[in-house]
Amino acid sequence: MRILIAAAGALLLTACGTQLGDEAGRRPSSEGQWVSHPLAGEPAVDSPMVVAATDREALVVMMSDEGVLQSHVGDAAGFRAGSPMRTNVAYVGLGGAAHLGGRWVTLGTGGVAEVDGDEELLFEPVSYTSADGLVWEEQVVEGVSAPADLAGLVAVDGSLVAAGAYRDDEDPSMGGFRPMVWHSDDGGSWTEVELPDTVTDGNSYVASLAVVDGRLLATGSTDGHGMLWGSDDAGRSWTSLPDEKILASYSLSDMAVQGARVLVSTTPGDGEGPEILTSIDRGDSWAVSAGQPAPEDIEGYAPLWAGGDRFFTLTSSYVDGWEDPGTCYADIDQCLGDTHYVLHASEDGDTWQPVDTADMKDDDRLGQVFGGPDGEVLVLGNTAQGAAVAAWPGDVDLPLGEAAGEPATVDLVTAPEDGVLEPGVRYHQPLQVHCGMDWLYLGDRPWRRIDRVPDLETGAGDDPSGSWPVARETIYGYATLVDDVVEYSIGDGQVIATYEQTAEQPLGCD
């Protein structure tokens, strides 16, 4: 089985998805249940929805590919849709939202120009502001002097701080990333703030921002290793916070804060899985999360969120029957699904438990998690009908379960690589049936079917028998050599096809 920590963007931003909640618009009961609140609008395929919250309400902002801004304001009881605003800026990537001086501000980059008949992305800064989170207006952005990506926006000590990277390549779509932080008092006029200890390598950037106990932290990467920077003056100046665990990573990705505790996720540079690190001293020192849900073969990085007095991360698993056929032979049901996502929660960053999301129906498009004004847990994602927020009430304990064990497996008896079979031995032999059952390979030798029983023919596009152990167009059956003929059988011993060795080679199929 392949288990991975899934990158947040891949799960959060997909335009197609599956249902996140039960009956739309239901209010939470005193017993607690996940309640889905559909959101209007069409989030762009490759651009994140952004969230923010005050002690009164939560905000969700999305942009369509065509540049229509759609916002929603609410809490666990429901969300009100704002007035759609056509910005006339296509392909906007929002970097975040924040509340400052009684107004909401969101910031991003976008735009497209036609060059020699082709569309060219511009990555020009854009900003929008609203008094109530429902009706928005554009504000002119000054001080962002080149094409840029924006990956974070926070309000701290009466100021706004944004972070990301300039795109210094002649063609900005090709990157040339240079890390940068910007400081503003109003969201319109920005001042560039250089970060210390960075190199001009075209691959350096700031990935996230967070405030912990009065200190502003920024994560990122430079010179091929992870970086953490800190500011004690609301982002006007920065120092490096070198820790050997951070510098040993390839990059420092997500960050989440709960009270005085901060978590970051790393992408290691040695090919091993990511790590979640915890700090209780505002980022001065770090320890590896003792119980993170991260086995050794995890890929990517661990998305991190905070809300409802907990930290959250997301793992995903996928059983690849060709890489690990023993799991399919042990229980074919383990191989029938696609990627399976599990939301995990932790109070301290060390002890993690899976969250029961059964009320969300299908759980393969869980998105980012954030907290509402009354301690509720809000999960933003996409359903078959569009974007939605699944809400859990703040006055009811989250439904937590025990960590799932490893999937069942069996030891396999595999055919020799040279294809020379021992008579009477029942070999485990998956049979790919996209093109039918006419051909079977055992080792490096082709075998051609000789029984020609019509009702056993699967054929490309036809369905095999529902009683057979089939997953992803593969029968998990057995090959046994009997009197120079291979009998192909399924688990109960039923022979479903017979084959003889041949010098012929099968033709290709569509």
8 Å CB contact between 334 and 319: yes
Using CA atoms, how far apart are residues 169 and 166, in angstroms rounded to an integer?
Answer: 9
Q: Is the pTM of this model over 0.85?
A: no
Q: Residue 29 has what pLDDT?
A: 39
Using CA atoms, how far apart are residues 444 and 439, in angstroms rounded to an integer?
Answer: 13
Q: Is the pLDDT of residue 71 over 70?
A: yes
- Band (52; pLDDT cuts 50, 70, 90): very high
Which has the higher per-residue pLDDT, 102 or 464?
A: 102
Closest to 151 in 3D by CA, of 71, 236, 209, 90: 209
Q: Residue 431 has what pLDDT?
A: 93
Q: What are the residues facing 426 on neighbouring strands?
A: 480
Using CA atoms, how far apart are residues 446 and 91, in angstroms rounded to an integer?
Answer: 51
Closest to 125 in 3D by CA, of 139, 144, 105, 112: 144
Q: Is the pLDDT of residue 30 over 50?
A: no
Q: Where are the domains of the chain?
A: 2-392, 426-501
8 Å CB contact between 471 and 335: yes
Using CA atoms, how far apart are residues 196 and 311, in angstroms rounded to an integer?
Answer: 30
Collect all residues with Cβ–Cβ distance below 8 Å to 457 and sequence separation of at least 6: 436, 437
Largest CA distance in the chain: 85
Collect all residues with Cβ–Cβ distance below 8 Å to 143 and sequence separation of at least 6: 182, 184, 189, 190, 191, 192
Q: What are the residues facing 338 on neighbouring strands?
A: none
Closest to 316 in 3D by CA, of 291, 340, 295: 340
Q: Which residue has the tokens 């009354």?
A: 374
Q: What is the mean pLDDT of residues 321-342?
A: 86
Using CA atoms, how far apart are residues 91 and 177, in angstroms rounded to an integer?
Answer: 19
The tens digit of pLDDT for each residue in 398-410 reads 998 876 677 889 9
Q: Residue 229 has what pLDDT?
A: 97
State how beta strands 93-100 and 439-442 pair: unpaired
Tokens representing residue 306 in the block: 């905070």
What is the share, in percent, of the chain residues with pLDDT greater than 90? 57
State how beta strands 485-489 and 474-482 pair: antiparallel
| DSSP letter, residue 272 | S
Q: Residue 24 has what pLDDT?
A: 36
What 3-state class would DSSP assign to 455? helix
Highest mean pLDDT among 105-119, 251-265, 300-314: 251-265
Radius of gyration of the chain (CA): 27
The tens digit of pLDDT for each residue in 75-129 reads 988 999 999 999 989 999 999 999 999 999 999 999 988 777 788 889 999 999 9
27-31, 203-207, 238-242, 394-398: range with lowest mean pLDDT = 27-31
Q: What is the mean pLDDT of residues 342-357?
A: 90
Q: Is the pLDDT of residue 366 over 80?
A: no
Residue 423 identity = P
Q: Which helix (H) or strand (E) holds 423?
A: none
Residue 224 φ/ψ region, left for φ over 0, alpha for ψ in the -120 to 50 degree band, beta for the rest = left
Using CA atoms, how far apart are residues 260 and 271, in angstroms rounded to an integer?
Answer: 31
Tokens representing residue 4 in the block: 């991975």
Q: Which residue has the tokens 């923010």?
A: 52
Using CA atoms, how far apart are residues 379 and 391, in angstroms rounded to an integer?
Answer: 6
Using CA atoms, how far apart are residues 419 and 370, in angstroms rounded to an integer?
Answer: 56
Q: Residue 234 has what pLDDT?
A: 95
The b-or-e profile of 190-205 (16+ CB within 10 A means b, else e) is beebebeebeeeebbb
Tokens representing residue 141 in the block: 């952005």
Q: Which helix (H) or strand (E) holds 325?
A: helix 325-330
Using CA atoms, how far apart are residues 277 and 256, in angstroms rounded to an integer?
Answer: 11
- CATH, domain range 2-392: 2.120.10.80
Using CA atoms, how far apart are residues 87 and 138, in angstroms rounded to an integer?
Answer: 8
- Sign (positive/negative) of CA torsion 500, 504, 505, 506? negative
Using CA atoms, how far apart are residues 408 and 406, in angstroms rounded to an integer?
Answer: 7
220-224, 333-337, 368-372, 420-424: range with lowest mean pLDDT = 333-337
- Band (226; pLDDT cuts 50, 70, 90): very high
The tens digit of pLDDT for each residue in 113-171 reads 877 778 888 999 999 999 999 999 999 999 999 999 999 999 999 999 999 999 999 98
Q: What are the residues facing 210 on neighbouring strands?
A: 217
State how beta strands 474-482 and 470-471 pair: antiparallel
Q: Residue 363 has what pLDDT?
A: 40
